[in-house]
């Protein structure tokens, strides 16, 4: 099978994102026809501009953040199972956000929620690489992620247990159950600068990721500063993942699924995988979000639940393939 050129691949994915974004603006429990866009007296006009547009933009931003972060982590660690959600980085970001909600810091400034989430994600990346190392085996890396997940889950459970009021518990639980529904323009303003900055930072290390396919010695011989690359990736993942978790809660498996789907179309160039994975992440989030709106249930299924249903089996298949390959 002939691979598409990088330009054609990215253009095709961008077109698919645009198509799904248009569908996202119209699909839901209430279908909104396009003629409602030009009639401000139509009651559905408010649905479009107050609910659907922020939800769609956030879906794109979250997908871009998680897809690009997964591609960068897999390229740096040379591990196809590396992902912010699977390895506990998203959970550490969630812990930072939960602490900001628990202590009521968001009352004084809404920017403290993404700041705390970004700090938690950054700490998660650093701890993960410290525990597992850069060249660890798959089992060691997954176990390191389990350690981070356990720490973050314990901290979140403690915050819920000690929450001062039932309303605080409800706020934290609703935020943790990842979704992009019922978000406003304020959340878009909070997330967009950090997500775009994080992805831009990750794109800057594309050459380093490509060089690492030769191993650390080979990369160093090409003039790649491995310590700087590690710091830059930590900053980029922290910004992108932390900001996405701050506005949507924990949505897992996006960074695991899309890089592995895009890799056969890109080849053995981890740096070239970041943009296709970012666009494919947006495609996956938008498609899943449209699907959860159309499920015939009394309450809308959370986006994180839908992604777990997709990503869980995919993760098991990946583990089985890697086991056969290593056997």
Structure tokens at 17: 């994102």
CA pair distance 148, 127, nearest whole angstrom: 8
Residue 15 counted as domain residue: no
Residue 131 counted as domain residue: yes
Residue 121 counted as domain residue: yes
Percentage of residues in the chain having pLDDT higher than 70: 96
CA pair distance 114, 1, nearest whole angstrom: 43
Q: Is the pLDDT of residue 74 over 80?
A: yes
CA pair distance 79, 135, nearest whole angstrom: 9
The pLDDT score that the predictor gives to residue 1 is 55
Residue 28 counted as domain residue: no
Domain residues for the domain of 252 are: 57-326
8 three-class SS:
helix
The total of structural domains in the chain comes to 1
Residue 14 counted as domain residue: no
The pLDDT score that the predictor gives to residue 326 is 61
Structure tokens at 96: 């930072």
Residue 103 counted as domain residue: yes
CATH of the domain at 306: 1.10.3470.10
CA pair distance 72, 66, nearest whole angstrom: 10
Please report which confidence band the pLDDT of residue 173 belongs to, taking 50, 70 and 90 as the band edges: confident
Q: Is the pLDDT of residue 264 over 60?
A: yes
Residue 229 counted as domain residue: yes
Residue 43 counted as domain residue: no
Q: Is the pLDDT of residue 202 over 90?
A: yes
Say whether pTM exceeds 0.85.
Answer: yes
The pLDDT score that the predictor gives to residue 138 is 60
* 96-151 pLDDT per residue, tens: 988 888 887 777 777 888 889 999 998 888 888 787 665 555 667 777 888 888 99
Closest CA to 72 of 319, 322, 271, 257: 271
Interval 174-190 mean pLDDT: 86
């Amino acid at each position: 099978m002939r691979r598409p050129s990088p330009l054609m691949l990215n253009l095709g994915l961008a077109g698919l994102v645009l198509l799904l974004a248009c569908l996202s603006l119209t699909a839901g429990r209430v279908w909104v026809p396009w003629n409602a866009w030009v009639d401000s007296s139509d009651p559905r006009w408010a649905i479009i501009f107050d609910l659907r547009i922020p939800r769609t933009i956030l879906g794109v931003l979250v997908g871009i953040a998680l897809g690009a972060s997964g591609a960068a982590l897999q390229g740096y660690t040379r591990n196809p199972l590396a992902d912010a959600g699977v390895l506990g980085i998203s959970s550490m970001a969630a812990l930072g956000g939960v602490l900001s909600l628990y202590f009521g810091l968001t009352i004084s400034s809404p920017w403290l929620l993404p700041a705390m989430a970004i700090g938690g994600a950054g700490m998660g990346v650093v701890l993960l690489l410290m525990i597992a190392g850069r060249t660890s085996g798959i089992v060691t890396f997954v176990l390191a992620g389990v350690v981070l997940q356990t720490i973050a889950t314990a901290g979140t459970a403690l915050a819920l247990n000690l929450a001062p009021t039932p309303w605080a518990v409800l706020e934290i639980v609703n935020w943790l159950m990842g979704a992009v529904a019922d978000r406003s323009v304020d959340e878009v303003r909070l997330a967009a600068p950090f997500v775009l900055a994080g992805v831009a930072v990750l794109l800057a290390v594309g050459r380093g990721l490509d060089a690492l396919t030769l191993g650390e010695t080979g990369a160093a011989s090409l003039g790649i500063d491995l310590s700087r690359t590690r710091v830059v990736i930590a900053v980029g993942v922290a910004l992108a993942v932390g900001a996405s978790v701050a506005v949507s809660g924990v949505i897992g498996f996006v960074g695991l699924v899309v890089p592995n789907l895009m890799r056969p179309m890109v080849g053995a160039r981890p740096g070239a995988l970041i943009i296709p994975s970012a666009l494919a992440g947006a495609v996956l989030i938008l498609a899943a979000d449209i699907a959860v709106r159309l499920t015939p249930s009394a309450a809308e299924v959370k986006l994180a639940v839908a992604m777990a249903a997709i990503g869980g089996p995919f993760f098991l298949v990946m583990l089985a393939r890697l086991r056969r390959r290593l056997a």
